[in-house]
Amino acid sequence: MVFHMKTTLNIDDSVMQRLREEAARRGTTMSALVEAGLRLILVERSPTDGERDNLPPLPSWQSGGALVNISNRAELYRTMEE
């Protein structure tokens, strides 16, 4: 069973004109073109497991270490008041 949802979108007039022309050129509906375009965008935005492995490593640096042990409340307050 196939379900379709009817919705309203605000699309720039020049984009709508190009959409009409492209749908006519391809012999399809504007709805079919919009749906195909959205599917392409949504697939591109969902990386596969292999693409996740190709991400560059996060940067790292040496901060010089902590100046105070934040789990020691007295030491933390003393350092903040100095």
Distance of CA 82 to the CA centre of its chain: 44
Structure confidence at residue 49 (pLDDT): 53
Under-70 pLDDT residues of the chain: 1, 44-53
pLDDT tens track for 24-37: 999 999 999 999 99
Q: Which of 13, 15, 33, 14 is nearest to 25 (CA)?
A: 33
Structure confidence at residue 47 (pLDDT): 59
Structure confidence at residue 44 (pLDDT): 64
